[in-house]
Amino acid sequence: MQLEDRTDPLKPAVRTVRLVFTDDNGRPIRRLTWTRIWKRIREGANRLLQAAGSSVRVPEKLTLHGLRDFYASALIKAGENVKTVQVRLGHSKPSITLDKYTGLWPAAEDTTAAAIEQVLGEAGTAARDLMAAAIRKALEALPPLTLPVQCAPVVPSQPGRRTPVAA
């Protein structure tokens, strides 16, 4: 199907497109028609959810694109990698997927720390405890800290009094 591309008004173009949703004749669905169809789908889903005893509902304002974002985030939460999510969403490059959804993947520090802890198990816990003990011992060996008088904490001797007295 050929459609007018209006993304850049200075460079009008006609492009060949493959539509995801069409009417019975293969033409684009009009916005009003889609709104009615989507409302029926959403209401039907909510009836099924209610009948199943679920408190979850499909929000009235949820758009088809919002549903796509939900699908992507569900894949990511389930542990799917960038390539899998890219393919499922139809992105031409993984960088498109990362640009949009990178904040949903766990931070590298979180996943690497979890991987090391899983491998080391109790040895990792013991190493962490040894490190904490070494730090405590080093801190205890330091001389006591004395602050100059100007840095000493002060409190007023009487409520409402402007001149504080050293504690």
Tokens of 68: 């796509």
Q: What is the pLDDT of residue 84?
A: 94
Q: What number is the average pLDDT over the span 48-62?
A: 89
Q: Higher pLDDT residue, 112 or 152?
A: 112
Q: What is the pLDDT of residue 105?
A: 80
In the chain, % of residues over pLDDT 70? 79
Q: Higher pLDDT residue, 96 or 115?
A: 96
Q: How confident is the model at residue 83 (pLDDT cuts 50, 70, 90)?
A: very high
